[in-house]
Amino acid sequence: MIKRPAPRAAVVPALLAVAVTASVAGCTAIAADTGATSPVGAGRTAHGSRGLLARTPAPAAVTVRHFALPDGHRMTAARFTGAVRFVLHCGSMDPGPPCQGKAAGPALSPAERRFVIGAFNGGFKLSAHVGGYEQGGAVISPLMPGRASLVIYRSGAASIGIWGQDVPQPGKPVYSVRQNLVLLVRHGRPTPASARGWGSWGGTITGAADTARSALGQNASGQLIYVASMSATPGDLAAALVRSGATTGMELDINPEWVQLAYARGTGGPLRKGIPGQARPASQYVMGWTRDFIAVLAKWPPSPAPGVRAVP
């Protein structure tokens, strides 16, 4: 049966509540940010009787926050929630030719642009030999046991962990894998490795510990959290991930030319720079990029209820 639309009086207050939450939290971008589901209807089932609410997945959303750590380093965190899917894209130079012909190439496709809510950089060059790479079911560089891994399943869902121990998750067909070094965060705490000398986490262009760095974590609800800064240490990344609620996390790429986040305030909307001071424009992943990146897409385009005005 067709579900009854929610009465206007029941929906507008909910939207206003979201707007108030955004104002209090000081978020750069926020939408329904509660996890897996949101209620549909006004306390009625699909049959129209009072009872359990019919529920559908919450809309895709990205929440971007900027904050300072106790050591003064300024960090950015972007959390992706709701009905999202993740896509690993090849770069034109890295992985380059071995990845040619893949559907997810160096730029967001026109179809993806309708659904995009964000995109962010991948890991080190494959020539660094710090982890393997699989995309679209094809292994481009052999996967390494024990490496920190972002695993994207055929459903578009993703998880982070140690390859061969935490991931892949049982029963979920693997579609793409991006490995990079070892974990920065495990069981909600910085790993001992995160406190090692910064040289263990990649060479910097300036030869100094503080440089542009990025990382990706996952919280207990399964949501992915991207953190980055134009000047930070590996320990800062771990601290920022834990502060943002990540229970596990891995370092991504480093140095100013390659750390970049783009996000949209609404599904398919214009992309904006996410990290203060980042070198690359917000449109870089639309124009095309030399390095691999991860696109975050809504599972379906937004469809606001008739007669409901969005709250700015």
What DSSP assignment string belongs to the chain?
A: -PPPPPPHHHHHHHHHHHHHHHHHHT-SB----SSSEEEESSSB-TTSSBSSPEEEEPPPEEEEEEEE-TTS-EEEEEEEESSEEEEEE--TTBT-GGGTT-SS-SS--HHHHTTEEEEEE--S-GGG-SS-EEETTEEEE---TTSEEEEEETTS-EEEEEBTTTBSPTT--EEEEEE-SSEEEETTEE-GGGGS-GGGG---SSSSS-EEEEEEEEETTS-EEEEEEEEE-HHHHHHHHHHTTEEEEEEEEESTTT--EEEESSTT--EEE-STT-SS-TTHHHH--SB-EEEEEESS---PPTTPPPP-
Least confident of 194-198, 261-265, 298-302: 298-302
The average pLDDT across 222-236 equals 98
What does the pLDDT look like over 74-125, one tens digit per residue?
999 999 999 999 999 999 999 999 888 878 999 999 999 999 999 999 999 9
Reported as a pLDDT band with limits 50, 70 and 90, residue 6 is: very low
Average pLDDT over residues 260-281: 97
pTM value? 0.81
